[in-house]
Structure 1
Amino acid sequence: MLGKVEKMIVVTGATGGLGAAVVEHLLERLPAERIGVSVRDVTKAQHFADRGVRVRRGSYEDPAALRDSFAGAEQVLLVSGNDPAADLTELHRGAVEAAVAAGARRIVYTSQHGAVPGNPYRPSDIHVATEAFLAGSGVDWTALRNGAYGPLDQVLGPWRRTGVIAGPDDGPVAYTDRDEVAEATAALLAGDRVLDGPATLAAPNAVTFDDLSRIVSDITGRTVERIVVDDERWVADQIAGGVPEPAARLLLTYYQAAREGYFAEPGSLLAELLGREPRTAADRLTADLTA
């Protein structure tokens, strides 16, 4: 009598920040032999191989290698690309096709909060297109529309030195902890819950720069002022600071999207998958400032 065939999960981008964290959380839930990773450089994933994870070379630019790295997977986690010089829409299409060709039963994709037509933030177009590819793929799929999970100090700028949070007019954003996104993603992949289509994976509350200036003022006991900078003046300041103009204008579209409310949708799914309340922006800033 044949033994039970264990279902494999393959994670792309497993040497990047989010992908690596997902694999670590999967290892807390599943035997290592049920986990595979698809990476550009297998030497950078040796620490996973040493723990029994299947490591294969695969990149979105090499569909044949990608199909091989997906072989035997019931589920594939496609971590969205982040190379601004690449045609990510076409690379994602190829990755979806490779997962289908390899026989995956479900594709889980790391999309973006507010990935809907009309969002001014230009990377949203890539996620909207990729979700359309998934919808037409013929296999089950989930698009996790992740809340913004970058470091908050990177978002707020040099406020610790200047005492000022300066930037374009913004809007409410559900700033989300990256490790909690990874943990929730692993819980979904390893669990019995089924989510079809797009699903918001973001913090349950959204805050503005005004809110954040009050939060850091309360935490530090010093007044941190919020200053709104005119869009064009802000772009000019970025360029003067060495940021290429296309990059500055791309980032400006993020602020435009925020003030139009595209990143404000609260999410309950993150808490459900974690089994606890997620960390708030205030929690994260308090931890950062008292570390």
Structure 2
Amino acid sequence: MIIVTGATGTLNGLTVEHLLQRIPAEQVGVSVRDPSRAVHLARRGVRVRQGSYDDPAALRHSFADAEQVLLVSSSDISADVVAQHRRAIDAAVTAGAQRILYTSTFGAGLDTPYPPLAIHAATEQHLADSGVPWTALRNGFYGDLGQLLGPWQSTRTVAKPADGPFAWVDRHDAAEAAAAVLTGDVTFDGPVDLIPPQPTSLTAFAEAASDLTGQHIERTVVDDETWVADEVAAGMPEPAARFTLSMFQATRSGHFTHGDSTLTQLLGREPHDARALLAEQIGR
């Protein structure tokens, strides 16, 4: 049985949908904080059990009979996320999982200005120390496009701090690739980069937006401290603004400059690009 955590969220919810296209529902289980939100899966034959990264006993129960467990990274910004991940990994080990998979991030490492990358690196180290075969699905960025680009549709400008090349991945593609890894004949040991063959940039998004709308969308670079001040004035807490700024700093310091063909091979097609993502956002 394949057990998936976070199945009521966007990414792993999509992963479960792709799994159900590949294997019978009775071979799929989900571990969710609120089972009432997974009734639609239970009705289709998926095993639904309550589990929380803060409750090891519940996790072990929800992971029972698992051959593989797919752990989604925690989104609880108020928690010790690394500790949560460690508890989930330990619960999967105790439950007898033969492989543990984890939704990591491309560029995971300790030497980075972007804090999440260090969290993923620490989690991957615990996976390596677990004694169980493991796979880290190092997905490219798939955050909210509105947050990334700002109100470009009204301002006709992508006004953000300086960026560098970065790997952007559609959540649908990341989920489909995860299902392919879980059910495929090829075993991936350790980290695997799930990113497009070529990185993109905010300039590429602006160019795609211009093409789609028939209007010139300009990419302008805003000084770091000016951008932080503007965001704070608009209501964003300063720690959150500086956290977001660290993502731009990581891209321009060369952490995400290369591409990879693995995602394309798993999908059997080219991943969705900036144009496709924007077209979906604006309903084109």
Tell me, yes or no, if structure 1 residue 278 matches structure 2 residue 271: yes
Question: Among residues 114, 120, 123, which one is paired with 2:116 in the alignment?
Answer: 123
Question: Among residues 249, 260, 278, which one is paired with 1:256 in the alignment?
Answer: 249
Tell me, yes or no, if structure 1 residue 185 matches structure 2 residue 178: yes
Q: How many Å apart are 1:287 and its aligned residue?
A: 4.0
Aligned-partner SS, 2:52: coil
What percentage of residue pairs aligned between the two structures are identical? 57
Q: 2:105–2:140: 8 Å Cα contact kept in structure 1?
A: yes
Alpha-carbon separation, structure 1, partners of 2:245 and 2:281: 26
Aligned-partner SS, 2:138: strand
Question: Among residues 139, 152, 171, which one is paired with 1:146 in the alignment?
Answer: 139
Tell me, yes or no, if structure 1 residue 205 matches structure 2 residue 198: yes
Aligned-partner SS, 1:73: coil
Aligned residues: 284
Tell me, yes or no, if structure 1 residue 85 matches structure 2 residue 91: no
* Match in the other structure for 2:18: 25
Alpha-carbon separation, structure 2, partners of 1:289 and 1:206: 22
Aligned-partner SS, 1:96: helix
Tell me, yes or no, if structure 1 residue 163 matches structure 2 residue 180: no
Aligned-partner SS, 2:67: strand
Unaligned residue ranges in structure 1 (runs of 5+):
1-7
Q: 2:204–2:274: 8 Å Cα contact kept in structure 1?
A: no
* Match in the other structure for 2:27: 34
Alpha-carbon separation, structure 1, partners of 2:18 and 2:247: 30
Code of the residue aligned with 2:131 in structure 1: it is G
Question: Among residues 199, 210, 217, which one is paired with 2:210 in the alignment?
Answer: 217
Alpha-carbon separation, structure 2, partners of 1:164 and 1:286: 17
Quote the RMSD (CA, aligned, Å). 1.1
Code of the residue aligned with 1:79 in structure 2: it is V
Unaligned residue ranges in structure 2 (runs of 5+):
none
- Could you list the structure 1 runs, at least 4 aligned residues long, displaced by more than 3 angstroms after superposition: 286-290
Aligned-partner SS, 2:69: strand
Tell me, yes or no, if structure 1 residue 14 matches structure 2 residue 7: yes
Q: 2:30–2:48: 8 Å Cα contact kept in structure 1?
A: yes
More displaced stretch, 223-232 vs 48-57: 223-232
Q: How many Å apart are 1:203 and its aligned residue?
A: 1.8
TM-score by length of 2: 0.97
Code of the residue aligned with 1:235 in structure 2: it is V
Alpha-carbon separation, structure 1, partners of 2:50 and 2:167: 35
Q: 1:204–1:267: 8 Å Cα contact kept in structure 2?
A: yes
* Match in the other structure for 1:98: 91
TM-score by length of 1: 0.95
Code of the residue aligned with 2:250 in structure 1: it is A
Alpha-carbon separation, structure 1, partners of 2:159 and 2:281: 20
* Match in the other structure for 2:261: 268
Q: How many Å apart are 1:290 and its aligned residue?
A: 4.8
